[in-house]
């Protein structure tokens, strides 16, 4: 596979942020950044659109809410109505704690699960950019090689403080 | 060059003084026309003012304790809100003057026929209430004055080591929060829960804290935005608003969680001595006010602030802050009024004037304290982090 990307390794998140901002300012195409922890401001520096995970979160939350309310209403109205303190079978305040808990549980687990599946972070996954220590301790910036060749790009990365620059294929 | 530092210009201050005067006139007229409701409105105003000042004090202390790196830019706002404690103390003093109109328990003839009130009179009596109120407010003011002094030591040109001041502020805040948890709980019981002296709820102080802290966060966010629009807090960025918005969102939910916790247990066990509180507040038009309280304190801000980007923008934040501040007033009204002026709910004539007047005085007092110091503590050791907060 032809060289598509140049990956620069930076020592600090600040250096990585600065390099990402500079790359976008110079019109270079940033493929991705790899950090061992979330870096504040990285979204804006990479020009990423808002995450669609919040939509998944809402969908899971509504699912949890529907399941909790549906199941409780079904049990207390149809399957096993019980007279508790003379309250109506459909008395809704009693259903809310479970509705709340299941909403939060579904939203939380569902969002994390969606993240893991959509990013391919399942057990047995191979570390991407493993050679450079991505997802371990390195701060990496992957830039797409422009038509003119990698030389200028390499100079750019080194100039912005990359300690190592390697060529890589386009696959993750 | 001395740039503008305050929130208000002369014309705005004069307008707010006029509103305060209108509130005072409404209070005087109300004493003659409808004393019970007027004194009830004074208690609501005192609840708002103590909640805003004490909530802001707790916010300042929490930001110090957790070492919040982002908060340097906005710190002077909650600090100056806490500096309005003397105004809140004045409102509490007024409440004590009208205690006979507001509370049932200071009436000697009520005690004669009421063994429950007699048993509670060891705590619920006017001298005790006055002493305790003075102690709460004095402790809060002492905490405020100490933290304010340490914060002023981080100003440009101040003597002393700003890093040492930050360390001391952290330790002082930790102690203050312990004192605050105890005194705020007791003050909620004294000032608010005792309007229904037979009724009790162990979660009531928490629920009041949720309301007070939410309103303080809402006011802090709104004041930050208005200050930036006037070119005073120009360093305030979307990330600071995002953090304030997240706190508002969290504590609107926290308030609802506590409101519902109180309601659920009382509804479920269905014991008359507990349900009396909600029975009086779900008839005669009060149910609508209770629903309005839930909508303004929780549902509205929840929907408005749910999206990440709406917490970073002025419009949605101002809308949510307005709802939460109005919601706090409605919540206090539902707590206080059915006990002070029993019977069906009737739209108020004097109450809105008194509340708006109290709000005007709060803004004037805030402006006075805020003006007395630079808008940002320039030697705060975390300020660089706060300025680059994204």
Task: State residue A171's pLDDT score.
Answer: 55
E-strand spans in chain B? none
DSSP reduced 3-state for B61: helix
Contact A50 B264 (CB under 8 A): no
Per CB-CB distance under 8 Å, the chain B contacts of A93 are: 260, 263-264, 267-268
Widest pairwise Cα distance in chain B: 69
Higher pLDDT, B342 or B94: B94
Cα separation values, B363 from B8, B17, B369, Å? 9, 10, 10
> A40 at the B interface (CB within 8 A)?
yes
Q: Is B314 left (phi over 0), alpha (psi -120 to 50) or beta?
A: alpha
Identify the closest residue of chain A to B385 by CA–CA distance. Answer: A40
Task: State residue A128's pLDDT score.
Answer: 67
Higher pLDDT, A44 or B336: B336
Tell me what percent of the residues of chain B surpass a pLDDT of 90.
Answer: 80
The ipTM of this complex is 0.77
| Cα of A88 to nearest chain B Cα, Å | 12
Tell me how crowded residue B21 is: count the other CB atoms within 10 A of its CB.
Answer: 12
| Cα of B246 to nearest chain A Cα, Å | 15
Note the pLDDT tens digit of each residue in B125-183: 999 999 999 999 999 999 999 999 999 998 888 878 888 899 999 999 999 999 999 99
Note the pLDDT tens digit of each residue in B250-290: 999 999 999 999 999 999 999 999 999 999 999 888 999 99
Residue A126's φ and ψ, nearest 5 degrees, are: -85, 140
Task: State residue A152's pLDDT score.
Answer: 83
> A41 at the B interface (CB within 8 A)?
yes
Q: Which ranges in chain A are annotated with CATH 3.30.70?
A: 5-50+125-168
| Cα of A93 to nearest chain B Cα, Å | 6
> Using CA atoms, how far apart are residues B243 and B220, in angstroms rounded to an integer?
12
Tell me how crowded residue B177 is: count the other CB atoms within 10 A of its CB.
Answer: 17
First CA to last CA across chain B, in angstroms?
30
CATH T-level fold of A5-50+125-168: Alpha-Beta Plaits (3.30.70)
Note the pLDDT tens digit of each residue in B39-85: 999 999 999 999 999 999 999 999 999 988 899 999 999 999 999 99
> B263 at the A interface (CB within 8 A)?
yes
Per CB-CB distance under 8 Å, the chain B contacts of A96 are: 260, 264
CA dihedral A132, A136, A139, A141 (to 10 degrees): 50
Which among B309, B302, B207, B310 is positioned nearest to B249, based on CA atoms?
A: B302
Identify the closest residue of chain A to B271 by CA–CA distance. Answer: A85
Contact B268 A94 (CB under 8 A): yes
Q: Which two tokens stand for residue B289?
A: 């006010």
Which among B121, B49, B45 is positioned nearest to B82, based on CA atoms?
A: B49
In terms of Cβ atoms closer than 10 Å to its own Cβ (0-12, 13-18, 19+), residue B348 is buried
Q: Which H or E element spans position A59?
A: helix A53-73
Q: Which two tokens stand for residue A114?
A: 């969606």
**Lowest mean pLDDT: which of A85-94, B78-87, B223-232, B235-244?**
A85-94
Bridge pairing between strands A30-34 and A5-10: unpaired
Instruction: Please give the model's pTM, rounded to 2 decimal places.
Output: 0.90
Tell me if B79 sits within 8 A of B151, measured CB to CB.
yes
Q: Show the DSSP H helices in B230-350 as ranges.
A: 238-269, 272-280, 286-294, 300-305, 314-340
Contact A50 B309 (CB under 8 A): yes
> A93 at the B interface (CB within 8 A)?
yes
Higher pLDDT, A102 or B381: A102
Per CB-CB distance under 8 Å, the chain A contacts of B390 are: 40-41, 44
Q: Which two tokens stand for residue B107?
A: 């009436």
């Amino acid at each position: 596979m032809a060289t598509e990307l140049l990956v620069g390794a930076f020592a600090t998140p600040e250096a990585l942020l600065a390099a990402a901002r500079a790359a976008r300012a110079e019109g270079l195409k940033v493929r991705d950044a790899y950090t061992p922890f979330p870096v504040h401001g990285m979204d804006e520096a990479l020009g990423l659109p808002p995450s669609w995970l919040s939509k998944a979160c809402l969908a899971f939350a509504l699912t949890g809410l529907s399941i909790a309310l549906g199941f409780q209403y079904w049990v207390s109205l149809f399957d096993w109505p019980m007279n508790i303190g003379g309250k109506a079978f459909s008395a809704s305040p009693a259903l809310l704690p479970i509705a709340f808990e299941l909403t939060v549980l579904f939203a939380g687990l569902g969002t994390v699960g969606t993240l893991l599946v959509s990013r391919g972070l399942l057990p047995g996954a191979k570390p991407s950019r493993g050679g450079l220590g991505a997802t371990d301790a390195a701060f990496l910036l992957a830039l797409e090689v422009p038509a003119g060749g990698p030389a200028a790009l390499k100079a750019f990365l080194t100039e912005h403080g990359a300690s190592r620059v390697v060529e890589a294929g386009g696959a993750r | 060059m001395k740039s503008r530092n305050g929130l208000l210009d002369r014309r705005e201050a004069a307008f707010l003084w006029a509103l305060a005067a209108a509130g005072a006139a409404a209070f005087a007229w109300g004493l003659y026309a409808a004393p019970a409701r007027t004194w009830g409105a004074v208690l609501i105003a005192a609840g708002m003012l103590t909640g805003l000042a004490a909530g802001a004090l707790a916010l300042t202390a929490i930001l110090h304790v957790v070492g919040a790196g982002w908060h340097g830019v906005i710190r002077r706002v909650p600090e100056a809100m806490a500096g309005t404690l003397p105004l809140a103390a004045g409102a509490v003093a007024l409440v004590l003057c009208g205690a006979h109109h507001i509370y049932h328990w200071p009436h000697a003839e009520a005690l004669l026929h009421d063994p429950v009130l007699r048993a509670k009179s060891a705590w619920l009596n006017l001298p005790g209430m006055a002493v305790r109120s003075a102690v709460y407010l004095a402790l809060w003011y002492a905490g405020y004055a100490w933290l304010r002094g340490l914060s002023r030591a981080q100003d440009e040109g101040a003597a002393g080591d700003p890093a040492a001041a930050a360390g001391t502020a952290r330790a002082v805040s930790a102690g203050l929060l312990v004192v605050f948890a105890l005194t705020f709980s007791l003050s909620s019981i004294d000032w608010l829960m005792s309007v229904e002296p037979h009724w009790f709820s162990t979660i009531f102080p928490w629920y009041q804290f949720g309301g007070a802290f939410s309103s303080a966060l809402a006011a802090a966010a709104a004041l930050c935005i208005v200050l930036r629009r006037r070119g005073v807090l120009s360093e305030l960025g979307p990330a600071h608003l995002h953090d304030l918005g997240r706190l508002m969102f969290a504590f609107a939910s926290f308030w609802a969680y506590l409101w519902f916790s109180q309601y659920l247990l009382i509804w479920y066990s269905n014991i008359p001595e507990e349900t009396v509180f909600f029975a009086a507040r779900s008839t005669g038009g009060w149910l609508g006010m209770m629903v309005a309280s839930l909508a303004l304190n929780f549902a509205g801000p929840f929907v408005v602030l749910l999206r990440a980007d709406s917490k970073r923008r002025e419009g949605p934040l101002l809308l949510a802050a307005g709802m939460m501040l109005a919601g706090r007033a409605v919540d206090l009204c539902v707590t206080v009024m059915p006990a002070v002026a029993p019977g069906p709910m009737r739209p108020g004539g004097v109450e809105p004037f008194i509340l708006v007047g109290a709000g005007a005085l709060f803004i004037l007092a805030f402006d006075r304290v805020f003006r007395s110091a630079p808008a940002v503590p320039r030697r705060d050791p975390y300020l660089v982090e706060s300025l680059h907060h994204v």
